[in-house]
Chain A
Amino acid sequence: MELIEEIRIKANRANVFAALNDVDILRRSIPGCEKLEAISPTEFTGIVVSKVGPMKARFAGNVTVSDLKPPESYTLVGAGKGGVAGFAKMRTMVTLIDEGDSTLMRYEVKADIGGKLAQLGGALITKTSKKLAGVFFQNFETIVNDEN
């Protein structure tokens, strides 16, 4: 699955970049996130409960941050296993464009999905991913603005 989206966040770029690397803000923003811990400054591990179509699964996984270019861009590489529901691997490139009071965030996700999840059909997976991303950024924007 590939997803390229843009979203405008009402916060300046430095704050957005900092928040994107803040474990606590991420944990509160990710829909269904039960646990998120930093193992190192560039490595997170966590558990997310997610519902895709008829399937609900707990994903245990880790995410590594690379290509860090504060406050412009970074790349996230992650993998998660959802037991019988299957597994997912993803690579996300995040770019932040400075627009003064707000920031245009552009993200490109490339995900490989396997197991029963994959069989739900691309349309459903993409739709769910977009929905989850929407919820994430809504939460994220609220938290970033509250904190600043």
Chain B
Amino acid sequence: MASKSHPVDESWMGSRMPRKEDLRLITGQGKYISDIVLPRMAHAVFVRSDYAHAKIISIDTSAAMALPGVISVTTGADIVDEMRPMPQPVLLPNLPAKYPTFYPLSVGKVKFHGAPVAIVVARDKYVAEDAAELVEVEYEELPAVLDPNAALEPGSTVVNEDHPDNEIFSMTFTGGETQAAQDANDKAVEEIFNSADVVIKETFRVHRTGITPMEPRGALCDWSESDGLTAWITTQRPHIDRLALVDLLEIPAERVRVIAPRDQGGAFGIKAPFYRENVIIAHMARKLGQPVRWIESRYESLMNVGQERDQFNTLEVAANKNGKLLALRNRGVADNGTGETGVYWGFVMPFLGAHEVPNTYTWEKADIKLRVAVTNKACLTPSRAFGHFPTRFAIERAIDIISHKIGMEPADVRRNNLVPELPYTSTTGAYYDSGDFIKVWDNLMSHIDLKKFRQEQREALANGRYIGVGFGTGVELSGMASEVLVPMENQPGYGAASIRLDPRGTVQIFGGDAPGGQGHETSVSQVVANAFGINPQDTLTTTGDTAMTPFGAGTIGARGASYFMSAVHNACLELKQKIVRILAHDLGIKAEFEEFDFINGEVIYRSDPSVKKTFREIVERIIMHPINMPEGEVGGLEATVFFEAAKPMICFNADMCVVEVNIDNGEFEISRWVSSEDVGNVINPLIVDGQMQGAIAQGLSNTIFEEFIYDEQGQQLTADLENYKIATAADMPNMEVTYSPTPCPHTPMGTRGIGEGRPSSVPGALCNAICDALQPFGIEITELPIRPNAIWKKIHEARS
């Protein structure tokens, strides 16, 4: 029997169990970073730049310092001798780039509207805010670099003056390692284009948008001479942040502890980088000898993070007249912002975006190149659908445009060109390990009678109504193998979990990744309950505390059900094997591990079910009474296991959208949204449904509503939720999420990590549907966001 009276009468794998987290979250019992209060805690507020690009002539802090309650006012000039600048090795990808050198506070000049200039620490936040207003900064304005294409031109003002130009990164993704091989490939692509029946070329623009979690960032740091630094940080990657703090502040590694609060109000990528604010808060706590806390305002958050996408992709596709896709050529230009963000530097997102241009389709050849430009804007920060939201929009729109040109059904062109069999390696070298794209596609198409729809569409048109259907597909990362993550981020990809069995028959789980609301506690509890035959309620999961958890690279890239859960599963397996060895010894039988079942709180000998012991009894015996043990065995039941898959893994999805467009005002209504998903074996369908619905909602919100706007001076105009419009529930269509899974052969439970890349097939599907409805006008959308005014304008132009 487990310690409590929780029933244990079902397989927890695949159970639609309500989330363990939700009771505390919906009753106000969640503990977020701003709920953590330490004695003598001081409060920090940043003074931020009003200019996009300006020399700092002087900073007068005297009036701020004179305000009662102010503890310190610190500027960039004050800290340059007190810490190392960024980058430090743990923050550098293995990619050749022009990394800017920078400090947490701007030194010499400011590079974007919102850049930190000074930090005020005071006894409370009110005093700190008042004092920040008294800091007088004199600037000399410099020309702001705002257009990424112009930024790459010779003679442009240079933003990061430690480098000769604004091109932070450029890369050719196809053809091989050497210049000669790439040139030969480019030539071969050119030959295909020259002889192809049909060729299209369009520049696809996706604006600056991203993800805005409910809870902004924050940091609370505490310093002790004996134990060093304890830092509570809103982060997806506490173990990486820990190493960054060690290197930047030169603190012995064993004396830095980072704790990601168990409850974080969303992250979606924006809490994955290492931010400059974290360093200065830690530094101030050490310098002042008292805890210092910074809680980001919504204003600061919208000024500094969640800005992604922002690419131009000039995409060419060659096909034959039967709709066979032959070759693609893409020239990407991304607007990086300043590049002053650890781990990602802005360009790592467009890097992955370019890598994923070929998507789910087969190509004979591809020629893909990317240039990334530094500008006087906030640095791009990772946002769910990391880097490939723009390239996916481009490729999915291009498939429809070429279908229209050939005169074929876009759905047929898609199916005919889907990667027919896995594993498969794309033209950019992306490895697709397993699954069945065609099966997932056919499942999607089973939800619509396309012939009948085309008939209805013709009838509607005869009545002056414009309805359309659009499709999009996406192959997404299911976790990040070390093979991918080491070159990309200089970090390991393995998942890590520690399992500690309790003499009372319950289980504690420790994970090094730090979730932001994905329901890890629930999924872990189901995996553990299923493994040991106990109730999920008899488990407790601790995440995010580097002092208690094994090293993990963080909650990124759909690492949950791919890597972390696999590590949990394997740790359980290791302990079960030990339990069986000792139990068999105690029972005096010679039996293999496979001959015992862990069910209903008991460990049962399958050949004779009367031979059994309760889980609690055998666990207590091994932990508390380790005498009369089998030879070579010692007591205790704890295991730490690292899981690395043999190959990089993927998940796959396809979207279908049906819209009706009002041609008089450009408004459109999504009447159906259907998806088909290969998510592998599912641990909790409720959580997977939520991931898919949330991802589609975020994709639609990015596509239709959200947009960061900078004016011609580089002033960021969208720093509140009135001007940065995020979709609400009322804006969303009903979503019919359906599944067509293939178990993943590379994870122990056949699970796939899901949800990260998922929004990226959305803009293509929606815009394809709108363009399908507007085919009588020959309208092709190539630019986001797509709103009624833009659609109306296109209809108006087409009509006149």
Contact = CB atoms under 8 A, between A and B. Distances in A.
A28 B133 CA distance: 29
A121 interface: yes
A85 to B, nearest CB: 9
A119 B50 contact: no
A51 to B, nearest CB: 16
Contact of B719 (A83, A113, A119): A119
A118 B718 CA distance: 9
A114 B299 CA distance: 15
A54 B378 CA distance: 25
Interface string B127-143: 00000110000000000
A113 B715 contact: yes
Given A84-B132, A86-B50, A114 B716 contact: no
Contacts of A119: 715-720, 723
B723 A114 contact: no
A83 B133 contact: yes
Contacts of B132: 84
Interface in A62-112: 83-84, 86-87, 112
A112 B50 contact: no
A122 B709 CA distance: 12
**SS class, residues of chain B in contact with chain A:** loop
A121 B722 contact: yes
Contacts of A115: 50, 715
Given A86-B50, A87-B50, A118 B133 contact: no
B171 to A, nearest CB: 35
Given A113-B715, A114-B713, A114-B715, A121 B723 contact: yes
A77 B78 CA distance: 36
Nearest to A113: B715
B51 interface: yes
Interface in B707-728: 711, 713, 715-720, 722-723
Given A84-B133, A119-B716, A119-B717, A114 B722 contact: no
Contacts, number: 31
Residue of A86, A114, A116, A122 with highest tally of chain B CB at under 10 A? A114
B353 to A, nearest CB: 29
Contacts of A118: 711, 715, 717
Nearest to B718: A119
Residue of B715, B716, B722 with highest tally of chain A CB at under 10 A? B715
Contacts of B722: 121
A121 B716 CA distance: 10
Interface in B670-712: 711
A112 B713 CA distance: 8
A116 B133 CA distance: 12
Contacts of A112: 713
Contacts of A87: 50
A121 B711 CA distance: 11
Nearest to A86: B50
B83 to A, nearest CB: 27
B723 to A, nearest CB: 6
A114 B711 CA distance: 10
Nearest to A57: B133
A114 B50 contact: yes
Contacts of A86: 50
A113 B50 CA distance: 10
B20 to A, nearest CB: 40
A50 B58 CA distance: 26
A78 to B, nearest CB: 15
B662 to A, nearest CB: 25
Interface in B130-189: 132-133
A119 B716 CA distance: 7
A112 B720 CA distance: 20
Contacts of A114: 50-51, 113, 713, 715
A115 B722 CA distance: 17
Contacts of A113: 715
A86 B711 CA distance: 15
A121 B717 CA distance: 7
Contacts of B51: 114
7 contacts: A83-B133, A112-B713, A113-B715, A116-B299, A118-B717, A119-B716, A121-B722
Given A83-B133, A84-B132, A114-B113, 15 more contacts: A84-B133, A86-B50, A112-B713, A113-B715, A114-B50, A115-B50, A116-B719, A118-B715, A119-B715, A119-B717, A119-B718, A119-B720, A119-B723, A121-B723, A122-B717
The 4 closest A-B pairs by CB, nearest first: A115-B50, A118-B715, A84-B133, A119-B719
